[in-house]
């Protein structure tokens, strides 16, 4: 294969990876914007979403769409409860960001292990049979039906979230809290309640990302860390707390990884992603778009 | 009895790792989550030298320490640009990069196959092939690390570190170059973790990348946060508790695979509960 033959596939892979990272970055940024701490537990919620679908759809034979909707809602609820039970009391006590970060690390570790106990550490896939999905050819590259769904749902969620933030009262309240929580409180916004909603929405989006990855690649309990870190890296590249920046960062990261492994072997994907993160932190810590 | 000795050796290794990380997180206030990378570099350099060269244990460990220190120095330069949660994130990144190197630089590390047949230490003609003898060696090293660390934190150098932790800007006003201080403690702590790695490699006689993951760094962080930040005895206590804990879980009678995961659940819950109710840990003198 010449370089020109492989190029369309690399671009497609970059876009698909970018769409998944963008979903992770959207939720992560939304939560970071409102709370200003690195919520590492965000990653494990992707795994929660994927495994709820696995349980309902594959183990119990429920309808696919119903399973996905319930899984997204459950993931949102888990995120909401984590905020109410753990983060919210810490916030009330004015705990430092580091305490919140370490607590989120604890949540991550505990839930990941619980998933492994319930579903084993084996690699499992959500799709019902390999080879039965439609494959489309674009130039010399191919894209599967699942991957097209990833792209479309990624774009829909982005559009939906932007509409929510721009057009609704809830969106304006979230924006007010992101700008300055104290001021938002003074003007009468129930910040704790709104932050709870933010956790619900952000976590639900992470759940959807996990479900899509489960259909495209597969599920393992450790999938959360990789997805989390890609979402975080995308957010930082784009400018943390800025949801448009996060989306741009996600696609940049998707391309960087896929073009990186064109010349270097595939195992170095994570190292490339983190190399990119450290370069950005060093030379442009505010990201592409400053908030 | 043999099993108790095994646990005691593991305890000594993790106590060293805990003390070393406490110097960075507890005394200098830098939330580093990359200690298992240095643990791994110490282990790999020692293992490679012991299996492929004839230079003996002592020189292998010294070279392991030097290489760990050099790598940590380079990492420290980059990390010195960050604060607080960004520092934590950057250190996360380095842990994953170093892990990738263990896993993927197969010509040197044999990748996932690991390095078997590492010899037990021979020092001054004495062979530590018996576990009881190895335990004595491990405890001597632990004592040495403890007293060196104690000396460091009680010295004027240690006081400057604590001042940096409390208010870096203020101490800069007094003319202290805080960069040098943070750098020095980071490199010293990495070198100590390298020693722990050398002990681990020559004790187990086999290493592979799976020991030196981000999870291991988190485990070391749990040790020091549980024991208490900025308290060296706390780290020893934390290591003791967390090494014994799985044994208690074993008595409950979980199957091995589930027991391993239960352990992770417990570590996670410990972190959450500590943050909620006792962020200074058991005997800590500093809260995050």
Can you give the pLDDT at residue B259? Answer: 81
Nearest chain A residue to B280, by CA:
A99
* Residue with the two structure tokens 């790999």: B44
Indicate whether A50 pLDDT > 90: yes
How high is the pLDDT of residue B199? 93
Query: A141: phi > 0 → left, psi -120 to 50 → alpha, else beta; which?
Result: beta
- What residues of B are in contact with residue A265 (Cβ under 8 Å)? 104
pLDDT score for A1:
56
Residue B190, pLDDT > 80, answer yes
Mean pLDDT on A142-150: 85
Nearest CA-CA partner of B219 in B64, B7, B36, B80: B36
* Segment B150-169 mean pLDDT: 88
Average pLDDT over residues B50-71: 91
B137-143's contacts with Cβ under 8 Å and 24+ in sequence apart are B137/B199, B138/B8, B138/B9, B138/B12, B138/B13, B138/B199, B138/B203, B139/B8, B139/B12, B141/B12, B141/B16, B141/B195, B141/B199, B142/B12, B142/B15, B142/B16
Lowest-confidence segment of A269-273, B52-56, B182-186 by average pLDDT:
A269-273
Q: Which residues of B touch A (CB under 8 A)?
A: 31, 78, 81-82, 84-86, 88-90, 92-94, 96-97, 100-101, 103-104, 214-215, 218, 221, 225, 257-258, 261-265, 267-272, 275-276, 279, 287-288
Q: How many residues does chain A have?
A: 291
Residues of chain A with Cβ-Cβ distance to B261 below 8 Å are: 113-114, 116-117, 121
Q: How far is A268 from chain B (nearest CA, A)?
A: 7
Distance from CA of B81 to the nearest CA of A (A): 7
Q: What is the mean pLDDT of residues B194-200?
A: 94
pLDDT digits (tens, 9 = 90+) for A102-120: 899 999 999 999 999 999 8
Residue of A nearest to B31 (CA): A98
Helix (H) or strand (E) holding B122: strand B122-123
* pLDDT tens per residue across span A248-285: 899 999 988 888 777 777 677 778 888 888 888 778 77
Q: Is-contact A100 A196, C-beta < 8 A?
A: no
- Percent of chain B exceeding pLDDT 90 equals 41
- Rounded mean pLDDT, B56-68: 91
Number of neighbouring beta carbons within 10 Å of residue B76: 24
Q: How many residues would you count in chain B? A: 288
| Tokens representing residue B56 in the block | 């003996």
Lowest mean pLDDT among A65-69, A133-137, B196-200, B267-271: A133-137
Mean pLDDT of A185-201: 91
pLDDT of A2 reads 65
Quick check: helix, strand or coil at residue B127?
A: strand
Measured at the CA of B139, the angle between CA B133 and CA B143, to 5 degrees, comes to 150
Whether B117 has a pLDDT exceeding 90, the answer reads: no
Best CA proximity match to B25, nearest among B210, B149, B169, B140? B149
So what's the pLDDT on residue B12? 95
pLDDT computed for residue A132 by the predictor? 60
- Looking at residue B123, the DSSP 8-state letter turns out to be E
Q: Which two tokens stand for residue B135?
A: 């335990």
Q: Which among A44, A91, A94, A109 is the top mutation candidate for probing chain B, defined by the most B β-carbons within 10 Å of its own β-carbon?
A: A109
Looking at beta carbons, which residues of chain B come within 8 Å of A90?
275-276
pLDDT in the model for residue A130: 55
Listed range (A42-56, A218-232, B78-92, B180-194) with the worst mean pLDDT: B78-92
According to the model, what pLDDT value does residue A24 have? Answer: 93
pLDDT in tens, A214-241: 988 889 998 998 899 899 889 888 887 7
Task: Give pLDDT, residue A73.
Answer: 96
- Residue A123 backbone phi and psi in degrees, to 5: -75, 125
Determine whether the interchain pair A109/B78 forms a contact, defined as Cβ–Cβ distance below 8 Å. Answer: no
Judge: B268–A113 Cβ closer than 8 Å, yes or no: yes
pLDDT at A182 over 70: yes
pLDDT value at A153 more than 90: no
Q: Band of the pLDDT at A69, cuts 50, 70, 90? A: very high
Q: What is the pLDDT of residue A178?
A: 86
- The secondary structure of chain A, three-state, reads CCHHHHHHHHHHHHHHHHHHHHHHHHHHHHHHHHHCCCCCCHHHHHHHHHHHHHHHHHHCCCCHHHHHHHHHHHHHHHHHHHHHHHHHHHHHCCCCHHHHHHHHHHHHHHHHHHHHHHHCCCCECCCCCCCCCCEEEECCEEEEHHHHHHHHHHHHHHHHHHHHHHHCHHHHHHHHHHHCHHHHHHCCCCHHHHHHHHHHHHHHHHHHHHHHHHHHCCECCCHHHHHHHHHHHHHHHHCCCCHHHHHHHHHHHHHHHHHHHHHCCHHHHHHHHHHHHHHHHHHCCCCCCCC
Q: What torsion do the CA atoms of B281, A36, A163, A21 make, to the nearest 10 degrees?
A: -70
* Distance from the B284 Cα atom to the nearest Cα atom in chain A, whole angstroms: 14
**In this predicted model, what pLDDT tens digit does every residue of B220-262 receive, in sequence order?**
998 999 888 888 999 999 999 988 887 877 777 777 778 888 8
């Amino acid at each position: 294969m010449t370089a020109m033959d492989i190029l369309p596939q690399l671009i497609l892979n970059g876009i698909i990876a970018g769409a998944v990272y963008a979903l992770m970055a959207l939720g992560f940024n939304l939560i970071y914007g409102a709370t200003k701490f690195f919520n590492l537990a965000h990653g494990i919620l992707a795994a929660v979403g994927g495994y709820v679908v696995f349980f309902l759809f594959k183990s119990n034979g429920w309808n696919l769409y119903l399973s996905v909707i319930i899984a997204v809602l459950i993931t949102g609820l888990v995120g909401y409860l984590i905020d109410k039970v753990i983060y919210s009391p810490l916030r009330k006590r004015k705990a430092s960001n580091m305490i919140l970060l370490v607590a989120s690390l604890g949540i991550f570790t505990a839930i990941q292990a619980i998933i492994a106990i319930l579903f084993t550490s084996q690699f499992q896939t959500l799709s019902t049979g390999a080879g039965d999905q439609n494959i489309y050819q674009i130039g010399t590259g191919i894209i599967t039906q699942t991957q097209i769904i990833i792209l479309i749902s990624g774009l829909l969620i982005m559009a939906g979230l932007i509409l929510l933030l721009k057009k609704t009262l809830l969106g304006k309240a979230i924006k007010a809290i992101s700008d300055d929580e104290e001021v938002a409180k003074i003007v009468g916004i129930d910040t704790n309640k709104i932050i709870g909603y933010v956790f619900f929405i952000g976590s639900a989006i992470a759940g959807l990302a996990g479900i899509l990855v489960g259909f495209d690649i597969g599920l393992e309990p450790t999938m959360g860390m990789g997805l989390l870190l890609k979402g975080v890296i995308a957010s930082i590249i784009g400018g943390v707390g800025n949801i448009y920046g996060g989306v741009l960062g996600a696609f940049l990261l998707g391309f960087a990884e896929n073009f990186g492994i064109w010349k270097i072997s595939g195992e170095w994907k994570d190292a490339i992603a983190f190399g990119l993160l450290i370069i950005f932190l060093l030379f442009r810590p505010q990201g592409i778009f400053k908030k | 009895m043999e099993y108790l000795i095994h646990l005691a050796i593991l305890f000594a290794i993790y106590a060293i790792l805990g003390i070393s990380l406490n110097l960075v997180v507890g005394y200098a206030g830098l939330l580093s989550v990359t200690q298992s990378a240095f643990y791994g570099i110490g282990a790999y350099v020692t293992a490679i030298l012991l299996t492929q060269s004839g230079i003996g244990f002592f020189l292998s460990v010294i070279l392991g320490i030097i290489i760990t220190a050099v790598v940590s120095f380079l990492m420290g330069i980059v990390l010195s640009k960050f604060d607080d949660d960004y520092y934590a994130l950057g250190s996360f990144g380095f842990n994953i990069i170093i892990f990738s190197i263990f896993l993927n630089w197969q010509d040197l590390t044999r990748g996932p196959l690991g390095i078997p047949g590492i010899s037990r230490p021979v020092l001054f003609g004495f062979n530590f092939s018996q576990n009881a003898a190895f335990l004595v060696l491990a405890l001597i090293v632990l004592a040495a690390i403890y007293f060196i660390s104690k000396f460091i934190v009680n010295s004027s150098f240690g006081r400057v570190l604590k001042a940096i932790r409390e208010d870096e800007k203020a101490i800069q006003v007094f003319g202290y170059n805080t960069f040098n201080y943070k750098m020095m403690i980071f490199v010293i702590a990495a070198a100590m973790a390298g020693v722990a790695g050398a002990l681990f490699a020559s004790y187990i006689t086999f290493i592979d990348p799976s020991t030196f993951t981000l999870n291991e760094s988190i485990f070391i962080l749990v040790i020091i946060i549980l024991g208490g930040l900025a308290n060296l005895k706390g780290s020893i206590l934390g290591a003791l508790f967390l090494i014994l804990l799985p044994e208690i879980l074993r008595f409950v009678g979980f199957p091995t695979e589930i027991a391993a995961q239960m352990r992770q659940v417990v570590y996670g819950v410990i972190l959450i509960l500590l943050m909620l109710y006792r962020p200074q840990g058991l005997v800590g003198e500093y809260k995050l």
